């Protein structure tokens, strides 16, 4: 198509009106396609949460840690805006080889008590022993049927100090130990940068939870393995002080069970 436009441009003294008409048509098609892509997700600013949300999807949730301080889980469960309620939460459980999030026990119990679907995640330290990190998570987190599969959160590599081949091998150790214990493949949480560096081509058979705030939809990622999309880190929720990460389940609702015990 670009060759046609270039040809008409060079011959514009003979094809002035056809050239202008074609340009207008191409611009119109481009604008319509862009609008169609945005509307496909039905982005809408939801005042109660303070962010735009992709309302094409129906299962929305958040993730929290001790950084969110004390949470009023009853108010979180009752939160609703523009017909959107929160249905799930991922709670930080552990970090590295020894750390347990100081709010995990309370958050885990209270989130379950108000009826939110729960998931627990481990914040991975590349320079720590992966087996010790797996054991830290296993001894801290008891999962029940209906809970999300365990989550491995990978988002740092200390400025690349751990070689990629070693990091990938260590991640495999953590995943294998945790999968053996819970009997289910863990979910990998990762941002766009780390996905491209370490996950793509190495862990394509694991469920993916992607943090990507830069695009209207992470289309280019493994569609069949992408289950959860963290689309905003600056939401607001009644019952929680400060900003909150917002997530959405991007598959058909009946597929939610694929990543739950």
- List, by residue number, the catalytic residues: 63, 155
**3-state secondary structure labels for all residues of 159-218:** HHCCCHHHHHHHHHHHHHHHHHHHCCCCEEEEEHHHHHHHHCCCCCCCCEEEECCCCCCC
- Give dist(CA 18, CA 11) in Å, integer: 10
> How distant, in Å, are the alpha carbons of 60, 106, 166 from that of 23?
41, 61, 52
| Residue 141: partners with Cβ closer than 8 Å, 6 or more residues away | 93, 94, 108, 120, 150
135 Cβ neighbours under 8 A, 6+ residues apart: 177
What is the rounded distance in angstroms from the CA atom of residue 57 to the CA atom of residue 113? Answer: 25
Greatest alpha-carbon span in the chain: 78
């Amino acid at each position: 198509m670009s060759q046609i436009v270039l040809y008409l441009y060079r011959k514009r003294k003979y094809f002035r009106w056809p050239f202008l008409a074609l340009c207008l048509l191409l611009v119109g098609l481009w604008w319509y396609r862009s609008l169609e892509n945005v509307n496909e997700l039905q982005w809408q600013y939801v005042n109660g949460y303070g962010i735009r949300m992709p309302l094409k999807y129906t299962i929305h949730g958040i993730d929290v840690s001790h950084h969110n301080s004390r949470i009023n889980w009853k108010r979180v469960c009752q939160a609703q805006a523009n017909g959107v309620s929160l249905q799930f939460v991922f709670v930080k459980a552990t970090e590295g080889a020894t750390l347990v999030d100081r709010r995990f026990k309370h958050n885990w119990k209270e989130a379950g008590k108000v009826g939110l679907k729960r998931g627990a995640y481990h914040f991975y330290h590349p320079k720590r022993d992966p087996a010790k990190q797996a054991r830290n998570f296993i001894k801290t987190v008891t999962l029940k049927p209906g809970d999300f599969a365990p989550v491995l959160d990978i988002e740092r590599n200390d400025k690349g100090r751990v070689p990629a081949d070693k990091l990938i091998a260590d991640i495999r150790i953590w995943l294998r130990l945790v999968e053996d214990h819970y009997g289910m493949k863990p979910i990998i949480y990762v941002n766009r940068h780390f996905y491209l560096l370490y996950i793509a081509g190495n862990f394509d058979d694991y469920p993916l939870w992607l943090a990507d705030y830069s695009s209207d939809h992470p289309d280019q990622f493994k569609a069949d393995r992408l289950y959860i999309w963290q689309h905003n880190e600056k939401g607001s929720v009644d019952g929680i002080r400060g900003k909150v990460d917002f997530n959405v389940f991007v598959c058909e609702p009946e597929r939610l069970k694929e990543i739950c015990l």
